[in-house]
Every structure is written in structure tokens, then in C-alpha cells.
Amino acid sequence: MLDVPRPPSRTPGPPLVRGVRSLGEREVCPRLLQCRASHAPRRRHPQPRRRGRLMLARWEPGAAGDQRGCRGGRAIADLPGDQGMSGRFDRQSFLGADSEELLAGLRVAIVGYGGGGSHFGQQLAHIGVGEILVFDDDIVEETNLNRLVGGVSADVAAITPKVTVADRVISGVNPAARVRQFGCKWSEAAEELAGAHVVLGAVDSFAERLNLERFCRRFLLPYIDIGMDVIQRSEGYEIVGQVILSSPEHQCLRCMGLINDAVLEKEERARQYGDAGSKPQVIWPNGVLASTAVGLLIQLITPWQPLPAAAVHLEYNGNTSTLQPAPRLAYMLEHGHGCSHYPRDEVGDALFGAPLF
């Protein structure tokens, strides 16, 4: 299991920060983040990297009025990057006057490009997301073709990487989108992942979900997770799944009950004894879950929803084709129970205060 190191604890005071790749690169901070300067003292790092800093305050969806897109306080509409596709997105203009520019300036990471992840890629291309990072170290196999959007039989013979399928699908739908392929585990390109604005996860194991969420909390990134399973009951098979939005300083996967020590231990035992096996998968639940997750992303980024939720847990029943709010999170929200697993002084970039360059 990957152990994402925690940054050193620090006393409350200045807002937390997240590293970005360079000051010269266009950065878009979703409106849900308030941007303000930090007055934290700088300390020298033994090996300073060339990286800029985006100063973030408390993670609050819908905060700062109608400025869901900004870079260092600049509205996204003032930024360059018009995709030159006027008219293409007319039918989604209800999302907000600047929604096309907001989405064009957005950088979304997809971790896992199998069943659910391939739906992410296709839909992000259709809605006009400007930059999409795809992380997957796998190739297309015969057993993927029942659910991999854009995967074809020729990919099996050609031993095509899944990230190549992602590039083909996304670029085919939206040639203006920048697709960045990472044919490796996300942990091997962690600095690139930290530069995303939002992370969409479609990973296979609970341990990987936990590590990915931990990483996103460290770098103050909203994380949207989807997953499904087919469970054999005495009366037949049941399709279940979830869509979860995990936001910094709000309820996490452990809070919501998706992950606990017993689940992780059971999964680890199965892995050690070779009993994990290949889980049943079909395309339509992945489509439902991925579409719902993209809807949550849109609510976070565009002015369409004045007060988007900061924490969401929807439970999917594929047998009845329903998605319903999970009672546990509803109870926590109603009674004001926050997250106790990621204290505020244990999140943020471990290189906090390092030189800009």
C-alpha cells in the first residue's frame, strides 16, 4: 500500500497553500476556492523546485459570490484560452455566462481509465474541459471491451495503452482539448497530479481510494470518487455502487463509511492470498455513476448552482436503477459532524513556504 507522507504539523494561522507547476502557466482556481495572499514566512528548502504558489483560503463551495473561476484573484473570463468553438456549447449556456471560459481553463485529472474512467474522458471532452490528465498504467485487453468507451478490437491486438484510447476519444470529440497521458501509476507522477484543479477517481481498490484521497487532502484538491460492485446473494446478483465528493475540511471517505479498517484488512488478505480476482463489471452502471460525478464537477465549477455541496455520498442500486443520498452522511450534515480524520493543520503542501523558484 502506498503511504502518502503527511506534511509537518503547523499552528493555525495563515491559509494553506497548494503548489503549481510554474507562475508562467495559466492557473484556474474554481470559484469554490477563495484566493488571497499568504503572509507566511518563507523558509529555504534544501532542493527548491521550480514551482509557483497558488494561495488558498478555507475550501468553501460557492464562496466569493460569482467568482468561481479565478487565478490569484483574476476572474477566469479575463484569462486567455478561448477554444474558438463559439456556438458549439450554446446549448449548455444555462450553466452561466462565463461557463465556456471556466471549463476551457479547467484542468481535470482522471485516475483510472477503465469502465468508469473512460466515461469521464468522453464527457469532459463534450462539455469543453480544456486540459485533461489521464493516469493509467494498463493496456486494452479483450475483457475490457464490454465497458471501455472508445476501446475497439484492434486495440487488443495492438496492445494499445488505455491512455492512448483516452487521447483518441477526447481529441476526436474536442480537438482543442489538451490531453496529457501518464501510462503509469498516479503515484509515479504525483507532482503532475498535484497541479490539477479537480481529481476524478475510478480506481479498483479501497486502499487505492484511501491513498488517492489522502493525496488530494494534502494538496487541497476536491476528489470525486465512483465505484461499483456486483454482489452475489442467495436470490441472485445485486449491482451496487457509489458517487462521492470529498472536499478538503469536509467529510471524507472514512467519515462516510465507505472505508474502514475492516474493509482494508479484508482486501489486503485477499490480495496476499491471491483471492482478489477480477470483479464483475458492466457498462451501464459505470455510465450512471460517471455522469452523476461529472454533474457534481459542473456544480462546483460553474455558477449554475449558487450553493454547491461540499460533501456528497450517493448510493447506487443497479437492480432498481436508483441513486439516493447515503443516510450516514445526511445524519452527519444535519448534526454538524465534521471530519476528524484530516485535521486542518495536517493538510497542505509539505513544501509550504519554499521559494517560488
SS3 289: helix
**Residue 160 DSSP code:** -
In this structure, what C-alpha cell is assigned to residue 326?
447515503
pLDDT for residue 71: 29
pLDDT for residue 253: 97
Taken as a whole, the chain contains a residue count of 357
pLDDT tens digits for range 205-226: 999 999 999 999 999 999 999 9
- Asked if residue 239 belongs to a domain, the reply is yes
List, in order, residues 6 or more apart from 90 with CB less than 8 Å away. Answer: none
pLDDT for residue 19: 37
SS3 244: strand
- Asked if residue 82 belongs to a domain, the reply is no
pLDDT for residue 270: 86
- Asked if residue 346 belongs to a domain, the reply is no
- Residue matched to cell numbers 482543442: 176
Tally of helices (H runs) and strands (E runs) in the chain:
9, 13
Measured between alpha carbons, how far is 157 from 345 in angstroms, rounded to an integer? 50
Cα 125 to the center of its chain, rounded Å: 15
**Residue 27 DSSP code:** -
pLDDT for residue 87: 86
pLDDT for residue 345: 75
pLDDT tens digits for range 107-164: 999 999 999 999 999 999 999 999 999 999 999 999 999 999 999 999 999 999 999 9
**Residue 274 DSSP code:** T
Q: Let me know if 355 is exposed, middle or buried by CB neighbors in 10 A (0-12, 13-18, 19+).
A: middle
- Asked if residue 33 belongs to a domain, the reply is no
pTM over 0.95: no
Instruction: Write out 89-155 in H/E/C secondary structure.
Output: CHHHHHHCCCHHHHHHCCEEEEECCCHHHHHHHHHHHHHCCCEEEEECCCECCHHHCCCCCCCCHHH
List, in order, residues 6 or more apart from 236 with CB less than 8 Å away. Answer: none
- Asked if residue 156 belongs to a domain, the reply is yes
Q: Which domain holds residue 332?
A: 93-341
pLDDT for residue 350: 56
For residue 261, the tally of other CB atoms under 10 A from its CB is 8
Q: Beta-strand (E) ranges in 5-118? A: 17-20, 33-35, 52-59, 70-71, 74-75, 107-111
SS3 213: helix
- For the chain, which ranges sit under pLDDT 50? 1-59, 62-84, 351-357
Domains held by the chain: number: 1
Return left, alpha or beta for 62; rule: phi > 0 is left, psi -120 to 50 is alpha, else beta: left
Measured between alpha carbons, how far is 219 from 348 in angstroms, rounded to an integer? 5
- Asked if residue 14 belongs to a domain, the reply is no
Q: Starting at the edge strand that comes first in sequence, how are the strands of the sheet with 52-59 ordered?
A: 17-20, 52-59, 33-35
Q: CATH code at 274?
A: 3.40.50.720
